[in-house]
Amino acid sequence: MASNRGIAYLEPGKTEVQDIPYPEFELKDGPGVNPDNVGRPVPHGAILKVVTTNICGSDQHMVRGRTTAPQDLILGHEITGEVIETGPGVEFIKEGDICSVPFNIACGRCRNCKERATGICLNVNPDRPGSAYGYVDMGGWVGGQAEYVLVPYADWNLLKFPDRDQALAKIMGLTMLSDIFPTGFHGAVSAGTEVGSTVYVAGAGPVGLAAAASAQLLGAAVVIVGDLNEERLAQARSFGCETVDVSKGPVPDQLEQILGLPEVDCGVDAVGFEARGHGEQASTEQPAAVLNSLMDVTRAGGGLGIPGLYVTGDPGAATDAAKEGSLSIRLGLGWAKSHYFVTGQCPVMKYHRGLMQAILHDKVDIATAVNATKVSLDEAPQAYQDFDSGVAKKYVIDPHGMVS
C-alpha cells in the first residue's frame, strides 16, 4: 500500500507534517471522526492524488486554538487532485481526471442537495447539516492537505476540468474553485452586487480579495476593501479596488471621501468572528464589529453577504456569550434599514462551473488577485505561521511538485 503524509494540527500555533494512513473506501476512526461515521463504507468515492491544496483562513481559526479541534486532526478542505482510483459505485468520473473538490461534502441525494443547498447536506455529518474535509465538528472526513485524499460521492462532488494540460497550466487559479473564489463570489452575489453597484468588502484576506474580484466580475462600479493591514490593502489596490484603513477613522467618513456618500449599495463580511474594532478600538477583538459597521454603511434596502466564518464554539473568546457565538449585533439598525442578510457556508457547486469557465477563458485572474504563492508540503507549517502574521498571500501547497 502506498504511503501518505498530511498536515496535522498539534496545539495552538503549531502544525506538523505527519505520516498518515493511505485512503481506503471506508471512513476509519481518527481525530475528529464522529463515532456514527466510523466504518462508513464509501463505494461511491474516489481516491485523489492531490495536485494542489490551499491554506484557508478557516484552517487558521483552528490552528490559533479558536475552535474545539482535536490534536492530530488532518487539515485541509481546499483540494484539487488527479483521480487515481474509483470505488465500484462510481460511474462517470475516471482515473486520470483532474478535478476540483468543493469543500462542502454533499451526498446529492437529500432534500437540501436537490435544492442546490450543498453547504447543508443532511446525510454526511451526524452532528449537524453540512460537512467539510479536515474540519472540526464536520463529520471527520480526513483533510486534503496531504498527498492523497478520499472524496465521497465522487460523481456528484467532483468538477472535472475539460482538458488536463490546460488545467495544469492554469492550476494556480483553478485551485481557488474549491472554496475561496466561490465563497467570495457568493458573498458578492448574496449582497446584491450587480452592474453599477458600489460595494464595500470588509476584510482584505484571501476571501475578501476574492469577493472584491468577484464584485468586479459582476460589474460593480466601485469596489472598496477595508482592513487594518496595509500590505493586504495594497494587494486590493493592485487590481483596481479602493481601500479604507478602518483603524484611521470612521468607515462612513472614508467612504464619503471616495464616493461622495457615506454608504454603499452592498456590504460583504469577509472577516467573521475574530473581527476587531474600528478606529481607536482597532487593537481590541470585537466579534460583532464588522457586522455592525456593515449595517451602518449599507444603504436602506441593501443586502449583506456574510461569507466570513462564525462559530457556535469559540474557547478563546473574551466573553461567555461570544464563546457560544452570541454577539451584540445591532439588529434594530438592520431592521430599521430593511436590510437582508445571507449567511452560512457557500454552496460551492452552485457557482464553480461558471467560475471555472471564467478562469479558463481569461475573464478573471483570481490567482493574481489573491497573490497565490506555492509552497511544498514540508514548507506548509512555516506557511501557516507566515499567513497568521498577516502576509498578503494565499498559500497553495504542491505536495507532488506538479505545479510548474
> Does residue 404 sit within a domain?
no
pLDDT digits (tens, 9 = 90+) for 150-187: 999 999 999 999 999 999 999 999 999 999 999 999 99
Beta strands in 69-203 (DSSP E): 73-74, 78-86, 98-101, 148-151, 159-160, 198-202
Strand duo 264-269 + 198-202: pairing: parallel
- Residues 15, 82: one domain? yes
Query: Looking at the structure, do residues 120 and 204 belong to the same domain, yes or no?
Result: no
In a domain, 339, yes or no: yes
* Residue 244 and residue 372 in one domain: no
170 in the same domain as 23: yes
Residues 325 and 351 grouped into a single domain: no
Same domain, 157 and 265: no
Domain that holds residue 243: 180-343
How large a percentage of the chain has pLDDT more than 70? 100
pTM for this model (two decimals): 0.96
d(CA 80, CA 396): 10
The separation between the first and the last C-alpha atoms of the chain, rounded to the nearest angstrom, is: 28
Going by pLDDT thresholds of 50, 70 and 90, the confidence category of residue 318 is confident
Q: Do 212 and 369 form a contact (C-beta atoms < 8 A)?
A: yes
Kindly state whether residue 403 falls inside one of the protein's structural domains: no
Q: Band of the pLDDT at 276, cuts 50, 70, 90?
A: confident
The SS3 call for residue 399 is: coil
Say which residues have a Cβ less than 8 Å from residue 70's Cβ, sequence separation at least 6.
Answer: 9, 31, 32, 136
Q: Do 136 and 230 sit in the same domain of this protein?
A: no
Same domain, 167 and 23: yes
Question: Which residue reads 441525494 in cell numbers?
Answer: 109
Same domain, 231 and 184: yes
Q: Give the integer Cα–Cα distance in Å for 307 and 309.
A: 6
Listed as own residue / partner, the contacts of 241-246 with beta carbons closer than 8 Å and 24 or more positions apart are 241/201, 241/212, 241/216, 243/204, 246/202, 246/278, 246/279, 246/282, 246/293
Residue 240 in domain: yes
Count of positions (residues) in the chain? 404
Write out pLDDT tens, residues 123-146: 999 999 999 999 999 999 999 999
Given a cut of 70, is residue 1 above it in pLDDT?
Answer: no
On the 0-12 / 13-18 / 19+ scale of CB atoms within 10 A, 6 is buried
Last residue of a domain, one of 301, 318, 343: 343
Given CA atoms 285, 389, 342, 201 in this order, what sign does their dihedral have? Answer: positive
165 membership: H or E segment, kind and range: helix 164-169
Pairing of strands 98-101, 159-160: antiparallel
Asked if 173 and 193 sit in the same domain, the reply is no
The identity of residue 349, as a single letter, is: M
Domain total of the chain: 2
